[in-house]
C-alpha cells in the first residue's frame, strides 16, 4: 500500500512525504510536517500554539483523539474585560474590546500545548525522535525559505472581508515580530524573497537537546514565563508546569452506515455529526449537487446545528455540554420538521473564533491515519526576545461576559471549529470498518461546514476526492447562505425565493481549506486533494 499526505504548505508536504518514503509512519510524517508548517506559516501555527488530533492505528478499531488545548492563564477573571467590551464582531469571530487586549499582545496569550502534543505522539507511536522530526524545520528556519504569494498577500492585506485585525497588525504590535518579519524598510517580505528565522531554529535545537519537558518545566519555560509575567500576561509558571494533554478526545457518529469520528467539545465534531444526522433524512442525491433545493436544505441543516451549538458548546471540564441531545436522532427529526415546514430557525449568537489555523492529513503504507489540526488562532504577535516563535492569541476565543458556557476561567479551553475527521467504510462481514476518508481544514467554524460538504460529495454523490474537495461550497450559520462565486447566480436566485443567499467575494477559498485523503474500499488505492483556495498540495508516494 502506498502512503499519502495533504496540507496547505508544499514545503511541509514534501518534508512529510520524505519521511514516508524513508519508511517512517504517519505519526512521524505528521509531526515533521507540522513543525515545518510552523516555520513557513508563522502566524497560523507553531510551538506557541495548540493542536487536536484524530488518529486511526492500523489493526485497531475506531479512532484515538488527543487534545492539546490553549488554556486560559491562572490570573484571568471572568469579569475582567466587561468594561472593555465594545461590541461583538459582526463577522462572528470574537468580540471587539478596547485596546484589542483579547486579540493581540501579552494579554491575549493562553498556555500553549503543541510541543506536548508533538513529543507525546512521537514517544507513543513514532519510529523517529523529536530531533529527526524537527531537523527539516530547523534547517529551513535557519537557512530561510522563499515567501509564497499567499503569505505575502496575507501580510499586505488590511484585513479579510470580515472585520478585525490584519496579520500585519499583529506583527506591528511587537518589536521582536517586527524585527523578524519586516524588512529594514519596515515593509513585510514580498513574494519570492527569502525569509530567515534563526531564533526559531535555535529554539527547536534547544528543545531537541534538553527534551520537550524543558518547554514546560525547565530553562526554556523560565524564559517564556519570565517574559510573559513582565509584560502583563495571565499565563504563569504554574500554568506551564501543570499543563496536560486531554486523552480520548474523539467522538463518534454515523452517516448512511459510515462511522464518522471527529473532535470532542469544545471543538467542532459534535456539530458536524449533528448536521449529518439532520441530512440523513433526505435524499440529497435526488436533489442534484448544488441545486437550489440542495443548497437550501443543507444550508438550513447547518444553521439548525449551529443554533444548538452556539449557546451550549464549551469546555466539558468546566461546563455540562448536552452532547447526547445535540447529536440525537430526535433532535435531528425536530430540525427536519422545521426545515420542511418553513418555520424560522432562530440563530443564537455565534461563538467567537478567529479564521486562521492549519491542517494536515496523512496515511502511511501500514494503514495508520492522521488528521491533525493545529493553530495559533491568528497569533498574538508576541515573540519572547530571542525565541523566534509567536504565541497564540486564544483569549480572543472566549466570551468576555460572565455567565456564558464559553466565559473566561483559569485553566479553561475555549471553543473552536477544529474538526479533524476520519470517515470509515460500512462494516464488512468480519465486522471491521476500515478508513475511507481522512480530512480536516483551517477556517474557524467554517471548517465544520466545509468538511461536511466533502463528506457529502463522496458518500452521496460518488465523487472522487479531487472533485469532492474542489467542488464549490457554501456556509450558513447565522443569517444568509454564503456561497462561493462559482455557484451560478441563477441558482442563488432560486434559493432566494425561499431563504436569503449571497455570494462571497471568493471563487476559491473564503470558507475553509479542506485537505483530504481517500482510500478506495475495493482496491486500497490512495488519492488526495488540497483545497484550491490556497497553495497546498497532496502527494501519494
For the stretch 308-330, pLDDT in tens is 999 999 999 999 999 999 999 99
Q: Helix (H, G, I), strand (E, B), or coil: what is residue 530?
A: strand
Interatomic CA distance for residues 412 and 243, integer angstroms: 11
Mean pLDDT of 186-207: 97
Computed over every residue of the chain, the mean pLDDT equals 94
Interatomic CA distance for residues 83 and 102, integer angstroms: 13
Burial 18-28 (b: 16+ CB within 10 A, else e): ebbeeebbbbb
Tell me, what's the pLDDT at 165? 80
Question: Residue with C-alpha cell 475511507?
Answer: 436
CA-to-CA dists, residue 296 to 91, 302, 350, 383, 503, angstroms: 21, 10, 21, 45, 14
Span 264-275, pLDDT tens digits:
999 999 999 999
**Nine-digit cell at 363?**
496515511
In this structure, are residues 379 and 37 in contact, taking their beta carbons and an 8 Å threshold?
Answer: no
Tell me, what's the pLDDT at 159? 57
In this structure, are residues 67 and 267 in contact, taking their beta carbons and an 8 Å threshold?
Answer: yes
In this structure, are residues 12 and 33 in contact, taking their beta carbons and an 8 Å threshold?
Answer: yes
Q: Helix (H, G, I), strand (E, B), or coil: what is residue 29?
A: helix
Interatomic CA distance for residues 130 and 211, integer angstroms: 8
Cβ partners under 8 Å of residue 60, min gap 6: none
Span 218-254, pLDDT tens digits:
999 999 999 999 999 999 999 999 999 999 768 999 9
Q: Helix (H, G, I), strand (E, B), or coil: what is residue 52?
A: strand
What are the φ and ψ backbone dihedral angles of 358, each rounded to 5 degrees?
-145, 170
Between 353 and 533, whose confidence is greater? Answer: 533
| DSSP E strand boundaries for 83-214 | 85-88, 95-97, 145-146, 194-195
Residue 428 burial (CB < 10 Å; 0-12/13-18/19+)?
exposed
Span 400-430, pLDDT tens digits:
999 999 999 999 999 999 999 999 997 655 5
Span 363-395, pLDDT tens digits:
999 999 999 999 999 899 999 999 999 999 999
End-to-end C-alpha distance for the chain, whole angstroms: 10
Mean pLDDT of 65-80: 97
For residue 162, pLDDT beyond 90: no
Percent of the chain with pLDDT over 90: 88
pTM: 0.95
Between 165 and 281, whose confidence is greater? Answer: 281
CA-to-CA dists, residue 518 to 3, 371, 381, 413, angstroms: 11, 12, 37, 32
Mean pLDDT of 100-109: 95
CA-to-CA dists, residue 362 to 6, 29, 38, 41, angstroms: 7, 7, 17, 19
Question: Using the 8-state DSSP alphabet, how is residue 407 labeled?
Answer: B
In this structure, are residues 67 and 262 in contact, taking their beta carbons and an 8 Å threshold?
Answer: no
**Nine-digit cell at 89?**
464582531
Residue 509 burial (CB < 10 Å; 0-12/13-18/19+)?
middle
Q: Order across the sheet with 64-68: list the strands.
A: 246-247, 64-68, 50-56, 369-375, 358-363, 4-7, 537-540
For residue 52, pLDDT beyond 90: yes
Cβ partners under 8 Å of residue 475, min gap 6: 299, 302, 446, 449, 450, 481, 482, 511
Mean pLDDT of 450-460: 98
Per-state percent for the chain, helix, strand, coil, to nearest 5: 35, 20, 45
3-state secondary structure 266-316: CCCHHHHHHHHHHHCCCCHHHHCCCCHHHHHHHHHHHHHHHHHHHHHCCCC
Interatomic CA distance for residues 188 and 152, integer angstroms: 7
Question: Using the 8-state DSSP alphabet, how is residue 534 labeled?
Answer: S
Q: Is the peptide bond before 37 cis (omega within 30 degrees of 0)?
A: no
Interatomic CA distance for residues 146 and 161, integer angstroms: 27
Cβ partners under 8 Å of residue 209, min gap 6: none
pLDDT classification of 161: cutoffs 50, 70, 90: very low
Interatomic CA distance for residues 51 and 320, integer angstroms: 23
Amino acid at each position: 500500500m502506498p502512503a499519502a499526505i495533504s496540507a496547505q504548505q508544499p514545503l511541509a508536504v514534501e518534508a512529510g512525504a520524505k519521511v514516508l518514503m524513508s519508511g517512517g509512519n504517519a505519526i512521524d510524517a505528521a509531526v515533521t510536517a507540522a513543525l515545518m508548517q510552523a516555520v513557513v506559516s508563522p502566524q497560523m501555527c507553531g510551538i506557541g500554539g495548540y493542536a487536536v488530533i484524530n488518529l486511526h492505528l492500523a489493526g485497531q478499531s475506531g479512532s484515538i483523539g488527543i487534545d492539546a488545548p490553549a488554556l486560559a492563564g491562572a490570573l484571568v477573571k471572568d469579569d475582567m474585560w466587561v468594561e472593555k467590551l465594545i461590541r461583538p464582531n459582526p463577522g462572528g469571530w470574537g468580540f471587539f474590546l478596547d485596546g484589542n487586549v483579547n486579540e493581540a499582545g501579552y494579554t491575549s496569550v493562553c498556555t500553549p500545548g503543541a510541543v506536548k502534543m508533538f513529543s507525546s505522539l512521537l514517544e507513543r507511536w513514532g519510529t523517529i525522535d523529536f530531533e529527526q522530526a524537527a531537523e527539516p524545520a530547523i534547517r529551513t528556519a535557519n537557512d530561510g525559505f522563499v515567501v509564497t504569494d499567499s503569505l505575502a498577500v496575507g501580510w499586505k492585506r488590511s484585513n479579510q472581508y470580515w472585520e478585525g485585525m490584519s496579520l500585519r497588525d499583529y506583527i506591528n504590535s511587537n518589536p521582536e515580530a517586527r524585527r523578524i518579519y519586516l524588512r529594514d524598510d519596515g515593509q513585510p517580505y514580498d513574494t519570492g524573497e527569502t525569509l530567515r528565522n534563526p531564533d526559531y531554529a535555535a529554539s527547536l535545537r534547544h528543545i531537541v537537546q534538553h527534551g520537550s519537558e524543558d518547554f514546560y518545566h525547565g530553562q526554556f519555560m523560565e524564559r517564556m514565563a519570565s517574559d510573559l509575567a513582565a509584560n502583563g500576561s495571565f499565563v504563569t509558571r504554574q500554568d506551564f508546569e501543570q499543563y496536560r494533554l486531554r486523552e480520548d478526545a474523539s467522538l463518534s457518529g454515523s452517516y448512511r452506515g459510515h462511522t464518522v469520528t471527529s473532535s470532542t467539545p469544545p471543538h467542532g465534531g459534535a456539530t458536524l455529526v449533528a448536521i449529518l444526522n439532520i441530512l440523513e433524512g433526505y435524499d440529497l442525491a435526488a436533489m442534484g449537487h448544488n441545486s437550489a433545493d440542495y443548497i437550501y436544505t443543507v444550508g438550513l441543516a447547518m444553521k439548525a446545528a449551529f443554533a444548538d451549538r452556539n449557546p451550549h458548546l464549551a469546555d466539558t471540564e468546566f461546563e455540562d455540554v448536552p452532547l447526547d441531545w445535540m447529536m440525537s436522532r430526535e433532535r435531528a427529526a425536530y430540525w427536519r420538521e422545521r426545515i420542511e415546514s418553513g418555520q424560522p430557525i432562530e440563530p443564537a449568537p455565534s461563538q467567537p473564533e478567529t479564521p486562521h489555523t492549519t491542517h494536515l492529513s496523512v496515511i502511511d503504507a501500514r494503514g495508520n491515519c492522521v488528521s491533525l489540526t493545529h493553530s495559533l488562532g491568528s497569533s498574538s504577535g508576541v515573540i519572547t526576545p530571542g525565541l523566534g516563535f509567536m504565541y497564540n492569541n486564544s483569549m480572543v476565543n472566549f466570551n468576555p461576559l460572565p455567565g456564558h458556557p464559553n466565559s473566561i476561567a483559569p485553566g479553561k479551553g475555549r471553543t473552536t471549529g477544529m474538526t479533524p475527521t476520519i470517515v470509515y467504510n460500512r462494516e464488512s462481514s468480519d465486522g471491521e470498518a476500515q478508513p475511507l476518508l481522512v480530512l480536516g481544514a483551517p477556517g474557524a467554524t467554517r471548517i465544520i461546514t466545509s468538511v461536511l460538504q466533502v463528506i457529502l460529495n463522496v458518500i452521496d454523490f460518488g465523487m472522487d476526492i479531487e472533485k469532492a474537495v474542489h467542488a464549490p461550497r457554501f456556509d450558513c450559520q447565522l443569517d444568509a447562505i454564503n456561497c462561493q462565486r462559482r455557484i451560478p447566480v441563477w441558482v442563488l436566485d432560486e434559493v432566494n425565493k425561499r431563504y436569503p443567499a449571497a455570494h462571497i467575494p471568493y471563487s476559491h477559498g473564503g470558507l475553509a481549506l479542506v485537505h483530504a485523503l481517500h482510500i478506495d474500499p475495493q482496491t486500497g488505492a490512495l488519492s488526495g486533494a488540497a483545497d484550491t483556495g490556497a497553495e497546498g498540495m497532496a502527494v501519494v508516494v
